Amino acid sequence: MTGTGSEWLRSLLSADRFGRFASVGVVGAAFDVTTSTVLRELGVFPELAVFIGIEVAIVVMFLLNDNWTFAQQGAAGVRAALGRLLRSNLVRAGGILVQLATFRFLFRVIAVDLDVAGIDGWFIVSKIAGIGTGMIVNYVAESLVTWQVQHDPE
């Protein structure tokens, strides 16, 4: 990481950028929860359904972040974008682990029986809680590694 600590911290704490990241996260969460819930209701093993939902959300959020939240960062072109997508998936590994661990703990250990219109409501609650905890890890990692905001003089 280049630049002073205060430069990258200022870039990381950009309210505008975080607001965009969080807005994109809401869209990603909708894709994630919908995909996971549909797969779960179709009988897919819960943790596998959650993992597939996460990956769908990662691709959707990457496309939105790359074209809106971090549109000023990174080189143009398909090859550069594919490189950032690969880096994004690798960087989000920490957030994925946090999200899966939170989901698994709530869904398997706390295990509340919550039926909502024939759908496992606790699955959805556990999923949303996992998304929330993973979001902070993802924001920091994506900002510093995928789009390298510390190099931006914002």
The yes-or-no verdict on residue 42 having pLDDT over 50 is: yes
61: its two tokens: 């959020």
Distance CA 4, CA 26 (A): 32
25, amino acid identity: G
Distance CA 101, CA 97 (A): 6
Distance CA 2, CA 46 (A): 41
Distance CA 4, CA 2 (A): 7
**Residue 3, pLDDT score:** 54
**Residue 64, pLDDT score:** 86
Distance CA 123, CA 36 (A): 9
Predicted confidence (pLDDT) per residue in 92-140, tens digit: 888 889 999 999 999 999 999 999 899 999 999 999 999 988 888 887 7
Task: Round the average pLDDT of the chain to a whole number and report it.
Answer: 83
